[in-house]
Chains A and B, each alone.
Chain A
């Protein structure tokens, strides 16, 4: 509908504020790359001719077309000298879809529509093309509207995800928005909000940490006895110790109790935990901590404490 192959019955679509119905459809389409699941390479044309069809109609010179085709084939990781003159039937499904993508990019369109481009591929190949696609997406820096039925594909590839249901956009947001605050039960069911543990890869450390507002903070000079009282009253197992304005580590209540001393300050029991970046994935954070045998990590943005990350907290948040 965005490229006006179908005109909407109701509502309107605008690109950068211009209603698409006010743009000549041929011009509109030439500015929108289009990739579909069935790929639709023209069987009677070589790879070069398939990619170069629109440039040829636009009157590009032979050399310019050839150069552009080579450039695009390199972009999609197919050596031009091998693939330029092949016919589509001489290519595998994955290669064909890469050519499909190269063809869509030939006029360097500001917008790219991809309609389930990886839907017909086997899971391994799909995964591989998704990885390549993430790279290509960065390379070309274009707006891409990517349609998929696979929510995990959306999470992996999408920066912003719009959920459509019965012809309406139900919710637009990042993976985090959709998982943690689904707009309605349908979205919750779709993204699996009640099975958050499945989303460790899609969620960041920041999403499931315990934020600093709910963290027990103690000065290093606090006496052990008052720390035990404070932590027990607050039901805290662990507290973050700061020394003046800088953080000096964390202290576990079990350490304090085991130490058996009531005099002295908590500073002497401080341990220095690993530091996590807020935008790392929860999965890599947990596996890193598991590998190092850590049971707590501080989430820091530069010098600023954002929260703490503990497996307990993760479990509580996810289940």
Chain B
């Protein structure tokens, strides 16, 4: 591991100022991903600015009914928080399906969003990788591609974003609060992460020195929501495919009044299934309509040599979640 200096930030503004003026500086949260990447030689910061002790560790309702999650709230605490369990079950389920008990105790909300891909080529500093070393190539294309993207990939990168939490937040229309050297800005969570395009080294739209300080959830109860994760082991494994969905039925229960769906394990970012949502809005909650919507969403999917199974898997997982959430779908 390359030598580095370490500082504890006295406050968020100072942390941002310090990192912004040092190109080699990085924020340290729980460290579960960053410290590992430093051991692997993938991350080589000169300075770590520890933001895990900043007073950003609470979950609280705002006056307008939104719920604000501090960026330093551990994943385990967030998953068990009464406000989250009562109003946003999809988020609790997504968090609890990720990592292990030990890791969830360390991992923070902000760090979970900004974790890097687990693409084996990205994590092996001896191999080419356009994300780690722009222009060096992508061995995942034509290599081991079981876990890679089927939507929104580019010639330069087929990595997927590994977070479960972010998929639930995408389906919840969460907002990210960002502090930069010039002040605060907010961004829909769906616009935080980017598709790889020609710059796969950029996971997000954040500028160097910008710090995620909070995530805001929209007001109201989102009881009819769920997260379903399909993986190679029953526990402690990344998603092959996952689905987060939030559904509202019309008062008579006969049609879908509102629906938001996000897919994980399929793209470089949490993938909002907007085509599927459009087809489902106002439609009857039937198996046929679910299947049609899922097929439309995955119409643009492109498989690599090792991950063609993800296309039907994602479609089936979407249908299963919608069926569970609406209690329908048995009758044509």
* Chain A bound to chain B: no
Question: Interface of A with B (CB < 8 Å)?
Answer: none
